[in-house]
Structures are given as C-alpha cells and as structure tokens.
Structure 1
C-alpha cells in the first residue's frame, strides 16, 4: 500500500478502522463479568491477563485470548470494567484478580489503550514479583489531548499532564526490572504522533497501516504477542 497516494492510504485505513470498531462493538456484549483464568492453572504456569480500553469490555479481547491459549501451560484471564474508575482503582481490581492465581504463576500483562496503562501501572506499583513482562497496544503513555474534559477518573488519568502518566513514565525510565513492549499503530487516529506514546525505555514495534482498534484484531499483532509470551516463558523456565 506504500505506493498508493496518501489520500488512498488514509481512506483504506479509515475503512479498516471502521470495520474493527464495528467488530469491537459487536463483542461488547460478551464477557461482561470478565473471563476467569482456567481452573487448572498450576504453579509455574503462564497466565496472560488481558486488559481492554476505554468504553470496551473483555469481549473485544476474545480473538487474542484464543490465539494465546493454544499452548499447554498458557492460560488467559480478563476483566471488564466501566469507563469511570481511574487507573489506580483499576490496578486494585487487577490485584484482586491476580490474587486468585497460584503464587508461583508467571503473569504477562497485555493491554489495549487504557488497558496498557493499567498494566504498566500495576507492574511498577504493586510489587508483584510474578509479573514477567507488560505489553501495550496503542496505549497513550504520552496522554490524550482533551481527555480530562470527559470528567471521570480514567479520562483524567489519560490527560497529558496527569500525575499517573508522569509516575509511569518516570518509573519506566528509572528501571527495567519488568520489560515492556509498546506496539504502536502508525495510522492511529486517536493518538497524535503515535510513536511518541511508546513507554520510555521500553522496546517498540510500529505496525504500519494499523489504527487504534485494528491492532486488536490484526493477526500479525496477535503473533507478536504470542511470540513474546512464549519467549519470556522459555527465559523464566
């Protein structure tokens, strides 16, 4: 698509993003209570905790859950939350979810948009030694201009000058105890200058032609996440 004129690329990207948004809307009705980790999770197993974005539910993460749970000893969990609570409260809810898991399970936190911010905040603030990595997809670590105007906690925390984002960025720059991968959607229409939203000090993969919502359903993104989980699994076994 690189040889097409800019307007044609923009039109194609907009169409794909609209389709992804529609697919996510269709999946909203699923997993309203979240998705509990598999009952057979044992000490030493890998659990991928998936966190959705603003105005979404865990249902939108179903395709990725299916992709990453094909491997023996790899399980998935997710939780659904309303748009109101701030990042710190959502991290507390995440702590309650992970408290149900075995003490020697390895946790991989994967989040889309707001979910990636929550995942990183938890990894840096909760002191949970089970977290082996965090992965974000189209997450606004540099903040979203105008977000605070929405008035509720999560939106205020996504403002560029929010204390929560500042804490995350400072901690990420100071330590690499828990590695992070930022998957950036180059054609993200929600975030200005998408690459600038990568977590400081972390690894970055830029997906050309992907938008804010299409990264959720892109097969290559799912393969990247899958490979990262399996890669960290081998390193920690």
Structure 2
C-alpha cells in the first residue's frame, strides 16, 4: 500500500445520504482504502449542525478503536459538520488528514433560502461560522488539511467562500456542485490529499 492505512470516514451534505459517495467509495476502495460513511439524521437542516457533529463522534466511538487514527472527508454542509467535530469535539486529536469539499466555510447566500437552524448556521457571519473561523488555524494545525473548490459552484455563493486560511487549496474546473464527488479530476485530487 503506497498510502496511509487509515480508514476514511465520509460525511455527506444537505439532503444527501451516504450513497452520494458511491463513485468516491468505489475509487478509493479499489486503491486499498477502508471506507466508512454514515447518514446524518436529519439531513435537511432542521437540526443544528453541532448535533449532527455529535453523530460523527458517536460513530467514531462505535466503529474505531480508542486510539485509532482516521482520515475525514466532509462535503458541502458536511464540511461544516466535520469542522465542528474537529474543532469542538476533539476530532483534531484523532484525525490525521481532513479533506473539505465545496463547504460553505465562510457561509453561503443560498442558506437564506430556508429558515431551519442548520441552514441558518451556514449563512455568512452566522454565530457558528464566526466561532469556528476564530480559531480554525490553531484548531486544525495538528491535521493535514486540504480543501477543494470549484469557481462554478452555484450552491456555495460566492464560490470562494469555501476557502480556508490553512492547509492546501485545490481549485478544480468542475461545472456543478454535486459533481465534486464524481468528476475524475476531483476523485484524483481527493485520493492525492489522502496520500499526503
């Protein structure tokens, strides 16, 4: 195996289920990674994102050994849920590599479309995002961070809101938000991030 033997945990976005990762799961599994994924409940923004992050914590406790390191991938809303897990629930002590894909790290204007608690938390300058962004560089310092984004994203508005002030940024010319999980260029970039 030419890469880390760490298992990889995939966290989906708004209205998605773990099945959204089928192309990525197939791609990584063929290269020797052990893949895990769970369905966040509910997935429609009606629940605050920290509550969803606690579901990651519970999954890790149930499926990984107490000292086992793992790698974490968060897509879209799942990118904020995973950051909360990393920055507020001690995940930064367990996760070796973190890949954030098209996440509204600095908020998205599309989050004004629904009044639900989890959606409001993805608005620009929300209390949750201000809190997470305040110490992102120090909280994620122990983790190898890669963030992927496309300038053509119509879910993350503006698209550059995905950018983080830490780690390695990868810009991909992928035309649609959901294709960041299936476009061959994105799959290759994710695998590369998990090899660093």
- TM-score, length basis structure 2: 0.87
Cα displacement (A) at 1:45: 4.5
1:159 corresponds to 2:119: no
| 8 Å contact from structure 2 (residues 104, 156) kept in 1 | yes
State the structure with more CA Rg.
1
Cα displacement (A) at 1:149: 4.8
Cα displacement (A) at 1:91: 0.7
Number of residue-to-residue matches in the alignment: 187
How far apart in 1 are the matches of 2:157 and 2:112?
16
Change (3 A) 1:209 1:96: closer
1:125 corresponds to 2:88: yes
126-135 vs 167-176, greater mean Cα deviation: 167-176
Cα displacement (A) at 1:180: 1.8
1:103 corresponds to 2:92: no
Tell me the alpha carbon deviations over residues 90-146 of structure 1, each in whole angstroms, 9 at most, x when there is no partner: 110000100021123221111110011111221111113221121111111111225
- Matched with 2:9 is 49
78-87 vs 173-182, greater mean Cα deviation: 173-182
208-217 vs 47-56, greater mean Cα deviation: 208-217
- Matched with 1:192 is 157
Change (3 A) 1:70 1:200: same
Residue from 114, 125, 134 that aligns with 1:150? 114
Residue from 90, 93, 118 that aligns with 2:55? 93
How far apart in 2 are the matches of 1:226 and 1:174?
25
CA-atom RMSD in angstroms: 1.8
- Matched with 1:75 is 34
| 8 Å contact from structure 1 (residues 120, 134) kept in 2 | no
> Which residues of structure 2 form unaligned runs of 5+?
none
1:121 aligns to what SS in structure 2?
Answer: helix
- TM-score, length basis structure 1: 0.73
Runs of 4+ aligned residues of structure 1 deviating over 4 Å after TM superposition are none
